[in-house]
A and B are shown apart, each in its own frame.
Chain A
């Protein structure tokens, strides 16, 4: 299966909102409400930020929100803070115990 498509970069100033898209197909993003988002700081393991399209794990600020329309999912970060600067990866269940990740988006806080 092919990787999900994410923009390579996104940016915003502190306090602003930024949205990162994640485009797949009807076999993954569009076929299941099982899209998750991970934040990865340099040299660190990924951290789960959103699962099942829009649910936040305990401890993740409500500045992070997720949504989906058709074959495209989105992650919105509101009230940008310096510590939000990281790579973000989307992931989708693709059926039959298979998952696919996006190529990643580097979020820069200006």
Chain B
């Protein structure tokens, strides 16, 4: 079964660093773009950026450029989202999703809840 499985919930303090992961199962990983999407509590979806694990080509939403880093390790079918210094405003659910066509994100991870609080 094709699926994306994300790492578990995290609780961090402001200023700490964090790297969350999204692992693909089903022999598709290197040939599809994988995106990260943020959903703040009670709010809508926000596209953060996207990576092609085959060559690590990465694009960022202007809103998130410089705020996060997206990376991939195709040898283990995993993409990452990382922060060097978390803020309380980073508290959100983060989803990874596979881009099937130009606009369709068809497979989604279960989400990783990140809570940043002192």
Residues of A within 8 A of B (CB): 1, 3, 32, 34-36, 38, 40, 45-48, 51-52, 57, 89, 91-93, 96-104
Contacts and interface: CB of A to CB of B under 8 A. Distances in A.
B95 A99 contact: no
B89 interface: no
Given A45-B95, A99-B47, A35 B106 contact: no
A47 B100 CA distance: 13
Interface residues of B, number: 23
Interface of B: 35, 37, 44-47, 50, 59, 61-62, 95, 97, 100-106, 108-111
A9 to B, nearest CB: 13
Contact of B102 (A34, A40, A100, A102): A34
B95 to A, nearest CB: 6
Contacts of A35: 103
Contacts of A100: 47
B36 to A, nearest CB: 11
A47 B45 CA distance: 12
B44 A93 contact: no
